[in-house]
Amino acid sequence: MKVLSQFMGVFNLDKCLGCNACTVACKNLWTNREGTEYMYWNNVETRPGPGYPLEWEDQEKYRGGWILTKDGKLKLAIGGRIARLLELFHNPYLPTIDDYFEPFTYTYENLVNAKESDKQPVAEPVSLITGKRIELRLGPNWNDDLAGGTEAILKDPNFKKLENKVKTDFENAFMMYLPRICNHCLNPSCVAACPAGAMYKREEDGIVLNDQNKCRGWRFCIAACPYKKVYYNWATGKAEKCILCYPRLETGQIPACFHECVGRIRYLGVVLYDADRVEWAASARDPKEIIDRMLQIILDPFDEEVIKNAKENGVTGDFIEAAQKTPVYKMVKIWKIALPLHPEFRTLPMIWYIPPLSPLVENIKVKSDEEFFPIVDHMRIPIEYLASMFTAGDTEKVKNVLKKLITLRIYMRQKRLGKKVNEELLKEVSLTEKDLEEMYRVLAIARLEDRFVIPTAHKEKALKMFEESLAPEYVQGSRGLQQTIRRDLRLRKS
């Protein structure tokens, strides 16, 4: 057993407003430069719909993530080294600019500089890449709030699997929001696919980053990522991705998209996991078993043996304390109300989602609270659709989560009305009154410091990492490491 620490996030989709405050915060902070116009490290998708980039979930088209060979070994879906070498100058599994959208602006000067005319002057769309006029056919949030439209629904890869079960009639339409960032996976396929070694996963906190000095722009990381959260900067020729705002995290600040969330749906904390069993967890024959294996390698932060092993592997005391305080661990492993996005990709994502509750269809009548459980299948958002996204098709896991969320609502209603708590409901979902009270505090009225438990980085670790990144002749110089660092900082400022 090798215990390491990892930042892990949970998004409560039951509270997402689709306001895109998270998107704006990220865009203003990280992707407001030339070459990043089309990048959305954070985006909010309306579901059902094609997503961003278009149909990114269709791995028959993109071949992202991992596949399991006949002998039970993991293999990149885009192929091994020889296959990638043959596709060095033509990668058929890359999304094109048309799958995102060609970034554009408007000729606003036309509004003030147009010659006198009987016609109203207009601002025409022009490409930010070529500078030429373009016809708008796609854009950021192009399908926003259009999940009830048949055209948007039919482009959803999850919906295509369920065409016979989900109706597209207007009266049966349903909609939900899905905010997405890089999942900072335990088994990242983007890292394994990079031939230059530029993509790497930080051992101290699990954040997946791209070394811009090493990156050669081969773009295999983009093809290998099944979530399509790595982007190519056409201006610099480098790959870029969400960095989980690690400069903010290292000083105890909250990542921008988490901090600006209006609905307070986001939670971030540290979990401890067994790094020796990552491959085992990703190698389950049945994709439906991957979630159970992931829960097994996420360890109890109060276990003395786990704490001892973690310290031996360099996990500091404040990281262990943060793992004990964060509600993320309880959401994922104790209460089991959160699920990973597409576990069948075998990357072991570390951003999990609480699936949304939805209204019951009109023709279903409920006489009492106790009758909710038998009709979970009759909710507006089909169970099969949620299972296609979060459990590799295992509808029972989704039902169990929805039952727990319903139980929480029933419990709080009964308590406020002074009614006797139905003990049978609690037994049905394996939760206690204490669990439900804490779930309510976390999901409904949690304060900022309760939702985000973030330990700061350690100076000694930063110095060690800096030392390892320098050439040996500089490190071993007579002036010492501290002087080398100060000189480097002066050069950067100049």
At 109-125, the pLDDT tens digits run 888 888 888 888 889 99
Residue 163: its pLDDT value, please? 60
Per-residue tokens: 20? 């895109």
Can you tell me the mean pLDDT for 253-258?
95
127, amino acid identity: S
Q: What is the mean pLDDT of residues 58-84?
A: 90
Q: How far apart are CA 145 and CA 18, in angstroms?
A: 9
Say what angle helices 395-416 and 433-444 make with each other, to 10 degrees. 90
Percent of the chain exceeding pLDDT 90 equals: 60
> What kind and span of H or E run contains 298?
strand 298-299
Q: What pTM was computed for the model?
A: 0.89
- Look at 175 and 170; give whichever has higher pLDDT: 175
pLDDT of residue 462: 61
pLDDT at 33 over 50: yes
| 82: phi then psi, degrees, rounded to nearest 5 | -65, -45
Reduced to 3 states (helix: H, G, I; strand: E, B; else coil), residue 353 is: strand
Angle at 115 between CA 110 and CA 116, to 5 degrees: 125
Tokens describing residue 134: 């373009």
* CB crowding 232-254: b at 16 or more within 10 Å, else e: bbbeeebbbbbbbbbebbbeeeb
CATH class of 263-451: alpha beta
Local confidence band at 165 (pLDDT 50, 70, 90 cut-offs): low
* Length in residues, the chain: 494
**Least confident window among 81-90, 434-443, 456-465:** 456-465
Sign of the CA dihedral with 313 first, then 319, 320, and 323 last: negative
Q: What are phi and psi of 144, to 5 degrees?
A: -60, 125
pLDDT at 467: 56
Over range 91-111, report the average pLDDT. Answer: 90
CATH 3.30.70.20 residue spans of the chain = 263-451
Specify the pLDDT at position 473: 42
- Say yes or no to pLDDT of 289 above 70: yes
Long-range CB contacts for residues 92-98, cutoff 8 Å, separation at least 24: 93/61, 93/62, 93/63, 93/64, 93/223, 94/219, 94/222, 94/223, 95/53, 95/54, 95/56, 95/62, 95/222, 95/228, 97/38, 97/129, 98/138
3-class DSSP assignment, residue 303: coil
Is residue 371's pLDDT more than 70?
no
Taking only the tens place, the pLDDT of each residue in 142-152 is 888 876 566 77
| Pair type for strands 3-12 and 351-354 | parallel
Residue 256 has a pLDDT of 96
What does the pLDDT read at residue 491? 57
478 has a pLDDT exceeding 70: no
Provide the 3-class DSSP secondary structure of residue 272: strand
pLDDT surpasses 90 at 84? no
- pLDDT tier at 405, thresholds 50, 70, 90: very high
* Residue 209: both structure tokens together: 């980053």
**Res 85: pLDDT:** 77
More confident residue, 206 or 144: 206
Contact call for residues 320 and 158 (beta carbons, < 8 A):
no
pLDDT band with cut points at 50, 70 and 90 for residue 337: very high
- Dmax of the chain from CA atoms? 82
Q: What SS3 state is found at 358?
A: coil
Distance between CA 108 and CA 289 in Å, rounded? 55
Whole-number Å distance between alpha carbons of 472 and 483: 15
Could you give the CA distance from residue 204 to residue 181 in angstroms, rounded to a whole number?
A: 20
Report whether 179 contacts 43 (CB < 8 A): yes
